[in-house]
Amino acid sequence: MTPTIGASTLLDRLSQKRCDAAFIEALRRAAAARFLVLVGEKPVILSNEARDVASIRWFSNVELEALDFAAADALFLGVDRISGAGYFALAVNDHGDSRVGRAAELLRPLVDLRSIATQGIMSPDEVSLIGKAKSLAAWHDTARCCGRCGGVTTVKDGGWKRKCWACGQQLFPRMDPVVIMLVTDGHECVLGHEARFPANMFSTIAGYIEPGEDLDHAVRRETKEEIGLDVGEVRFVTTQPWPFPHSLMIGCIAFVAHGALEIDPQEIVEARWFGRADAKAMLDGTHPLGLWVPGKQSIAHSLIRAFADEAAVAGVDR
C-alpha cells in the first residue's frame, strides 16, 4: 500500500540537529543550499512542454536574492545524504507585500499539490516532500501569536518550533489525527457520498480522533454516527500524512458486527453497500453507472483496493 503522498525518503531530516541554530544557519547560507518555494501554498515546479512530467524547482540563495525573497526564516527540510547540502522550504505570500506579488508572477504557472498528486506527474518522493513543506508552512501561518498571552512568536529550530517572546511558551507543528475506515461485513463494503464530493464519487468514511479517544473508539464512534453501523473488530492497516493542511490519516478496516445502514444527513448524502466487482470497477473507472472512487494518491483508494483484492479483509471470524 503506497499512496502517492507519503513520507518522503529523499532527505535525512536530521531532526537531532535542528536546535543547533549555528549549524542550520551555516547550511542555509552555503552555496550548495537549495530552497523549495511555496507561493500561497503552491509549489514552484518545473515541467515539460506537455506538462505530463514535473519536478521541484530548487532555488539557490543567489536566485532568491534576485527575486528579493528573504530566506532567514526558511524551513529546514533536511540534508542530502551524500553531499550534506541543506534543503529548505520558503513560503511566501503576497499579503501586504507587493514584492512577492511581482516575483510570483515570474514563477507562474503554479499548480496546487492536490493536482500534482492526482495527475501523477511527479515522483511520489517529491510530492511527499512538497506535502511536508506545505503542512509545516500552513502551521506557521496560523501560529504567529501565542495562544496563552497573545505575544508574537518567532521561528526556532529551523522552523520546527515557535517560541513566544513574552511568556516563553513553545509551540510545535500541528498534526490532526484522522481515522479513515473501510467498513465491511467481509463480503461487501460501505462507501459514502458527501455533499462536497464531485458527482458520482464515493469514498470511505473518515473523522477526526477526539481528545481522550483511542483509535478503535474513534472508528466505532464515527462509523456509528455517520452510517449507523456497529463495528466489531478494527484492524489497523496503514497511515498517510495528508497535507491539506496537516492531517495524519490512519487507515483501518472496520468489521461490522450488526446494525442497519442509517446515514447522518449532516455528514453524508448517500451511503451504499458495494460488492468486490463494483469496487474493482469503481477503482478502474469502468463502473457501468459511472461511479468512481478517489485516485491512487489517497489512502481511501488503497483501502478500497485492499477490499477489492481481498488482501486485508478475508477470513475474519466474528
Residues that bind Zn ion (CB under 5 A): 146, 148-149, 151, 164, 166-167, 169
- Residue 169 CB, shortest distance to Zn ion, in Å, is 5
Residue 153: CB minimum distance to Zn ion, A? 7
Looking at the Cβ atoms of 151 and 173, the one nearer to Zn ion is: 151
Q: Quote the CA–CA distance of 5 and 244 in Å, as a whole number.
A: 11
In angstroms, give the least distance from the CB of 150 to Zn ion.
7
Residue with smaller CB distance to Zn ion, 48 or 142 = 142
144 versus 148: smaller Cβ distance to Zn ion: 148
Helix boundaries (H) for the chain: 21-29, 61-66, 98-107, 113-119, 124-142, 215-227, 276-284, 299-308
**231 in Cβ contact with 183 (< 8 Å):** yes
Closest CA to 179 of 267, 231, 251, 255: 251
How far apart are the C-alpha atoms of 280 and 264, rounded to whole Å? 26
Q: Least distance (Å) from Zn ion to the CB of residue 226?
A: 38
Nearer to Zn ion, 93 or 169 (CB): 169
Closest approach, Cβ 140 to Zn ion, in A, equals 16
Residue that the C-alpha cell 453497500 belongs to = 273
Of the pair 70, 167, the CB lying nearest Zn ion is at: 167
| CB-neighbour burial class of residue 267 (10 A; exposed 0-12, middle 13-18, buried 19+) | middle
DSSP 63-87: HHHHTT---TTPEEEEE-TTT--EE
